[in-house]
Amino acid sequence: MKQLALAIILTLVTSCTSLKSWMNWSQPVDPVLQLFEVKDKDYIDHLASLANHYKATESKSLRTLSPRSMKYLSEIHQKLVRNNELVLDPHIKPSFNLIKSPTPFIFSLPKGQYFFSTEAIMRYMQNEEIFVAALSHEIIRSHRNIYEKKAIIPTGYLQLEKLLSLVRLPNEIRHEVNKLSFYLVKRGGYDGGAILNWLQILNKNSLVFTTLLGDPRLISREEFNFKNFLVSETSGDLSLVGSDSNSNPDYYLFINEIRGFL
């Protein structure tokens, strides 16, 4: 019933407001985006505080990145934010947290807190565009507080599976965030088509990404919906997107540093 009501609301909103207005900056915040924002500051503060519980739990697996890698990641974040300041908060200082883990994942918490595993980077993000595509999704969520409100019982100990269950979104909401990610990376000077590449990676390896996705069967629908959106944005010529795999040399240094942790 909850999902049906959400779908009805989404249909009404999207029928009245084109997502292209978000790219054209005709409004500070798109109504579609506003629909999913959590306005409860206490809840957001509480959700953000879970980062410390998770890092304490994973203290033996948490890896410290070099100043050069942190600078590189911060520059990506700054570039995306600087070109999208009407919808992102330029005052947020990001934190990037690398976890040595055989489980592939990338997720965010409010206030610019980003987490990703060595497995996700080394095995599935072979170029910078894929990494930026995956990160852009989390930047939008973290800056705009796009999280479902769920009961949180603080225990001081928080395993990955539990944390991901708290930040996981319904498929229809992920689809809207994917659209916004496309505009975000395009305005940041990156390849918007790489978002489709990332969704295809998730779909092709859905069972491996079960911990991240929850229900691996849903990713095929997410890819299908985004591909339809992309067709409308490219006049049906998907050969124009996702072809740029050149990476900043600093990305390869970042990859090599992570390789040293394995």
The pLDDT of residue 240 is 46
> Which residue type, as a one-letter code, is found at position 166?
L
Q: Report CA-CA distances (Å) from 142 to 17, 77, 111, 136, 195.
A: 23, 12, 6, 10, 18
Q: Report CA-CA distances (Å) from 133 to 102, 107, 118, 129, 178.
A: 21, 13, 17, 6, 9
Angle at 98 between CA 44 and CA 121, to 5 degrees: 115
The pLDDT of residue 33 is 58
Q: Where are the beta strands (DSSP E) in 17-175?
A: 62-63, 95-99, 106-109, 113-117
The candidate with the shortest Cα–Cα distance to 123, out of 260, 259, 261, 220, is: 259
In angstroms, rounded to a whole number, what is the distance separating the alpha carbons of residues 220 and 192? 19
- For the chain, give every domain's residue range: 33-259
SS3 of 193, please?
coil
> Which residue type, as a one-letter code, is found at position 6?
L
Cβ atoms of residues 181 and 193 within 8 Å: no
In angstroms, rounded to a whole number, what is the distance separating the alpha carbons of residues 110 and 108? 7
Order of strands across the sheet that contains 95-99: 62-63, 95-99, 113-117, 106-109
Cβ atoms of residues 124 and 130 within 8 Å: yes
- 109 - beta bridge partners? 113
The candidate with the shortest Cα–Cα distance to 18, out of 186, 133, 183, 130, is: 183
The burial of 162, by beta-carbon neighbours within 10 Å (0-12 exposed, 13-18 middle, 19 or more buried), is given as: middle
The burial of 25, by beta-carbon neighbours within 10 Å (0-12 exposed, 13-18 middle, 19 or more buried), is given as: middle
Angle at 258 between CA 252 and CA 260, to 5 degrees: 105
**pLDDT tens across the length of the chain (262 residues):** 544 444 433 433 333 333 444 444 333 445 555 667 888 999 999 999 999 999 999 999 999 999 999 999 999 999 999 999 888 999 999 999 999 999 999 999 999 999 999 999 999 998 999 999 999 999 999 999 999 888 887 677 899 999 999 999 998 899 999 999 999 999 999 999 999 999 999 999 999 999 999 999 999 999 999 999 999 887 755 554 554 456 789 999 999 999 999 8
